[in-house]
Structure 1
Amino acid sequence: MALKNKQFLYFIFVGFILSVFQLTFAQGVPQKGMLWVYWGNSLDGNARNQRILYFDFIPEDTKISNQNRIFLNLSESQQTAVLKELVLPPNFYVYQEDSVKQPAQITMGKVGTEVICDGKYYSAKLIKFEKIPKTTAKQIPDSGCIYSLIMNNDFIVKSTDSHKVNLRSQPDAHADIIKRLDDNAIVEKLKTVRKDWYLVQLKDTTTQGYVHKSQLERVD
């Protein structure tokens, strides 16, 4: 039994050493993969309801981040330089809700880790960004509470005239009414349409429709 315990501890130790080596190896070495730039909620408690840009890197060699995406830390000048190289969707800055992906070769600083609420997250300082034609990197799905906070797009219904709020079939004040929503009902915003209307989906249902943004408030 003692021998088995020693072997078990040995394998844990070797795995830890290999993990540290892989994280260190990534530092300063160009890595191919997919750069994903997207809008999300700020995690800064002093900037609630503020939308900011996130730069995630999905490496082809996922061993360097233990099968996780890597949050890239960029200065303002680096953000500007990278964004100039990308083909951005229309109204990218106006609506602050779209994303763009670009095959890239990224040179990073040391990959660090941090445990936040329910999992370990990886981050690194961007050193160099280069576009490449294609990559074999595969999408790593959102998981864990940090992504729930970043990607949360829930809004609360707030009537401007003490009546129920109309969920309409089109982004128009004269469009057919699909349903009348109670004050304080929670909906998920899917996208902005015509600047002042939100396409929303009722929570726990597949019902979708349009609500004027003046009658919705973001859930903190």
Structure 2
Amino acid sequence: MIKLSSKKIFIVGVILLVGVLGANSYRLSKQNRVLGLQLETLKQDPQSIAKEEIKQLTEKLSKLVVLPEGEEPVVATVTDKEKLKDQPVFAKAENGDKILIYAKAQKAYIFSPTKNVLVDVVPVNIGNQQLTITGVDENNPLEIALVNGSKNDGITGELEKRINEKQIPGVKVVSKATAKVDSYEKTLVLDIDGKHGTQATELAQLVGGVVVTESTESFPEADIMIVIGADFK
């Protein structure tokens, strides 16, 4: 059984039942997909959105609503609302809106920076089923390369250990390396061959990282590369 640790930002919600609050709460029962899947059409902000920018977002939002304490949200940006039209939970979102996901508090906030408006609040419930990655199993393995972009020696071994402990079917760490620089603030997840966008999004949720589309690092022989930043705990 997978449980969310109170000390880790590992988002291990295999089944995230997402619904709209208030009059639309009945839709909770219809949401039976992992939140990572529903975010696959969202482009998560890369390293350029550093902690200071996340702080600015939360400061603006905190003036509109009381936010959960004790955790930093995972931030995503809506880039094409048309791709989300079949997902009721994002029905009110517009291009440019920010999605702030608080895993431990089990809430996600849709915020419009241009209008300075809280668009919606989405409850997120984490189930206790075995953790899986979409489209990945023993017959369709997913190879992951870990790269240490922080000053924390041995962090790739620690992340490999945590991934192995989750016993995710088909997921395998195939290499570990050191990045060209050790100043990465955020943990980055890159789909190397451009064919594993959904899996990259779900892994980013798992490790508390952000999805990026390019990197200055040398590409290893793997499907996905995770560059571990200083934010990884």
Query: Does TM-score exceed 0.5, indicating one fold?
Result: no
TM-score, scaled relative to structure 1: 0.25
Which structure would you say has the larger Rg? 1
TM-score, scaled relative to structure 2: 0.24
The structure carrying a bigger strand percent of its residues is 1
Higher relative contact order (CA 8 A, sep 6+): 2
